[in-house]
């Protein structure tokens, strides 16, 4: 059953960890005192989305067995980057309507970079450790 699968339990634990990081960041006045929290959150968020994507694609055995490593890495990173762009839109809308934060281009690009890096590294590790040649 998928609820007792080790990968599902790991994904849920990872999600809880990210939630705890986000909570601590929000308690600390919008991440000001802990500037590196934003980097950690985006890196872990990208890794979590890549983990979910790769576990979902395992159900499609045809694609998993015939896709090349490069195709899987690009696909997982593209899904993570898409989720990151959606999150940045959410941040922009929140900042625009509620004046909750000041957004800069460097912050947005940094967020997208660390989303992608987390997704790419987890995807590479997952693919190379689980793929049978």
Distance, CA of 73 to CA of 43 (rounded, Å):
16
pLDDT in tens, 93-118: 888 888 767 778 888 999 999 999 99
Q: Output the pTM of the full model.
A: 0.77
pLDDT tens, 70-93?
A: 888 999 999 999 999 998 998 888
**Burial, 100: exposed, middle or buried (Cβ in 10 Å; 0-12, 13-18, 19+)?**
exposed
pLDDT tens digits, one per residue of 15-64: 777 777 766 666 555 545 567 778 888 898 899 899 888 888 877 777 76
């Amino acid at each position: 059953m998928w609820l007792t699968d080790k990968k599902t339990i790991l994904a849920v634990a990872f999600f809880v960890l990210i939630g705890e990081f986000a909570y601590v960041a929000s308690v600390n006045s919008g991440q000001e005192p802990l500037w590196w929290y934003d980097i950690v959150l985006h890196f872990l968020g990208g890794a979590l989305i890549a983990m979910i994507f790769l576990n979902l694609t395992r159900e499609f055995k045809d694609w998993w067995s015939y896709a090349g490593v490069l195709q899987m890495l690009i696909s997982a990173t593209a899904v993570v980057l898409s989720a990151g762009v959606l999150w940045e839109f959410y941040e922009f809308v929140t900042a625009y309507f509620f004046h909750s934060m000041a957004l800069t281009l460097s912050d947005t690009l940094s967020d997208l970079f660390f989303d992608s890096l987390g997704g790419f590294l987890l995807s590479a590790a997952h693919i190379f450790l689980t793929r049978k040649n």
